[in-house]
Amino acid sequence: MLEPKDIQKALSEDKDMQAGLEKYNALDEKANAVAQEVTKAMVENIVKEENEFNLSTAVLGVSKSLVQLASFLYDSEEEFLVAMKRARNLVVSDLVPMLVDAHPCGSCENCKNGKSDECLHVQINTENTQSRFLPLLCGMLIEYDLFNKVLHMHTAGKDANKQEEEK
What confidence score (pLDDT) does residue 119 get? 93
101 vs 117: CA distance, rounded Å: 14
Looking at residues 84-97, what average pLDDT do you find?
A: 95
pTM: 0.71
pLDDT at 23 over 80: yes
pLDDT > 70 in the chain, percent: 91
What confidence score (pLDDT) does residue 162 get? 65
Which residues lie closer than 8 Å to 161 by C-beta, 6 or more apart?
153
What confidence score (pLDDT) does residue 72 get? 95
Tens of pLDDT along 99-154? 999 999 999 999 999 999 999 999 999 999 998 899 999 999 999 998 888 888 88
Beta bridge partners of 96: none
What confidence score (pLDDT) does residue 107 get? 94
pLDDT at 83 over 90: yes
